[in-house]
Amino acid sequence: MFDRDRLDHLNLVDEAVTLGTLPPFAVVEPRQMVATVKIIPFAVPETAVAKAANFAAKGEPLLRVAAFVPCDVALIQTRLPGFKESILDKTRQVTEQRLAALGCRSSPKNAVRTRWRSWRRALPPQLPGAPTWCSCTARRSSSTGAT
C-alpha cells in the first residue's frame, strides 16, 4: 500500500527520478521487490536525488507492506433457476482454495445456498467473533449460455 498523493508528489520532484510500485493491495511474497527507483537518464544532478530522498523521508513511510490476517469466512451462494448444483460445488472448491492460500478458513457449517431474492435473509446477525461474509453469485450469460 502507498500514499498515492505523496507518491505522485515524489514523482514530480524531478522528471529524471521516478518511483514505481506494485499496485495497492498486491499480494507479495517475502523478499519480493515491491518498488523500484528509476533514474532517467542514467545520471541526474545530485540535488534532484537529494530533494526526492528528503521528500520521501518526511512523515510516515511512503510504502507499507501489511501481513494477511487469517479469518473465518462464510460462503453464500445463490441458486438461480436452471443452475446446476455441480457448478456451485466447483465454485465452492475454488473459493476455498483461494481462501486457504490467504490463510483463511471456510467450513461447510458456514456455507449457505439460497435463492436469489432471499439471500439477505440467509445471513445470520453479525456478532463479535462471527465469520466475515463472502457473497458469491453465479450468473448465466444470456448470449452464450456460459457461466
Work out the percent of the chain whose per-residue pLDDT is above 90: 23
Question: According to the model, what pLDDT value does residue 101 have?
Answer: 85
Higher pLDDT, 133 or 95: 95
DSSP category for residue 12: H
Q: What does the block give as the cell for 22?
A: 506494485
Q: Calculate mean pLDDT across residues 21-31.
A: 89
Residues 6+ apart with CB under 8 A from 74: 106, 110, 111, 112, 131, 132, 133, 134
Q: Calculate mean pLDDT across residues 42-49.
A: 86
Tens of pLDDT, residues 51-97? 999 998 998 888 888 888 888 887 878 777 788 889 888 988 898 88
Question: According to the model, what pLDDT value does residue 115 have?
Answer: 64
> Which parts of 1-147 fold into alpha helices (H)?
4-12, 46-57, 85-101
Q: Is 106 left (phi over 0), alpha (psi -120 to 50) or beta?
A: beta
pTM recorded for the entire structure: 0.55
Q: Is the pLDDT of residue 142 over 50?
A: no
Of residues 41, 45, 1, 46, the one with CA closest to residue 22: 1
Of residues 8, 31, 39, the one with CA closest to residue 21: 8
